[in-house]
Amino acid sequence: MEGVSGNKYGGVLRFSRDPCTRVAETVDSPSRKPRADAERNRLRLLDTAKAVFGEKGPSASLEEIAREAGVGIGTLYRHYPTRDALIEAVYRNETGQLAAAATRLSEAHPPVEALRQWLLLFIDYLGTKYGMAAVFGSVTGGTAALYAACNSGTPEAIALLTGRAVASGEVRLDMDPIDLLRAIAGVASAGPGWQDTARRLVDILIAGMRV
């Protein structure tokens, strides 16, 4: 499933100013075809960033990432003008599948159980995928507002699941569901074995939401 890392854009790739729609807008362009080397560099940077962030956390040196990717620092900044842009790109890439799982789970399970399953999945991703825990932590804690609005469907995913669960009448939730994720992420990276703790926290949270 990792193979689907699809960044094959058909036409001209444009980055809009709005981060939410930054993914891929094929613009009716009178201009020329995008250069192959640029796209190559972008992908190399993304891969390298994923690895390095996973290894050293989201505050890893951007110079190191550029070096490791075999490009100049200027090239990194050309593709990802800010550290957040780069983190977001990695993050988006990683969580796309999480979002996809939301619809799948919500079709295969009763509402509350689907939510529970997805939260457990979220923990797995947090832990096993390239140290995303730290990245997510920095994202929620740090330059948060941006991501809260628009990261790769995660908010939509959990909104869907909690919406269904609440609609079923079994649970109640008077806060932004994404704060559930923040709570879980807060427990993460608290030392080895945090995943068990996080899983217990999920049970506590769901039990606490029951009417």
Residues forming the site for DNA (CB under 7 A): 1, 6, 31-38, 41, 59-64, 70-75, 77-79, 81-83
Identity of residue 74: G
Q: How far from 34 is each of 11, 29, 37, 71, 72, CA to CA, in Å?
A: 8, 11, 9, 18, 20
Q: Which does 179 bind (CB under 5 to 8 A by kind): DNA, a copy of itself, none?
A: a copy of itself
116 touches 206 (CB < 8 A): yes
| Phi then psi dihedrals of residue 136, to 5 deg | -65, -40
CA distances from 43 to 3, 89, 141 (A): 14, 11, 27
Start-to-end CA span in the chain (Å): 38
Report residue 142 as tokens. 């740090």
Q: Pattern 147-186, binding to a copy of itself, x per CB under 8 A?
A: -x-------------------------xxx--x--xxxxx
CB of 59 to DNA, least distance (A): 7
Site of tokens 């962030």: 53
Contact 170, 111 (CB under 8 A): yes
Among DNA, a copy of itself, none, partner that 146 touches (CB below 5 to 8 angstroms by kind): none
Count the Cβ atoms, other than its own, within 10 Å of residue 151: 21
State the nearest-atom distance from the C-beta of 203 to a copy of itself, in Å.
7
Q: Provide, rounded to whole angstroms, the least separation between the CB of residue 23 and a copy of itself.
A: 23
Minimum separation from the CB atom of position 45 to DNA (A): 9
| Residue 113, binding choice from a copy of itself, DNA, none, Cβ under 5 to 8 Å by partner class | none
Shortest separation between residue 190's beta carbon and DNA, angstroms: 22
Nearer to DNA, 79 or 116 (CB): 79
Binding site for a copy of itself (CB under 8 A): 134, 137, 140-141, 144-145, 148, 174-176, 179, 182-187, 189-191, 196-197, 200-201, 203-210
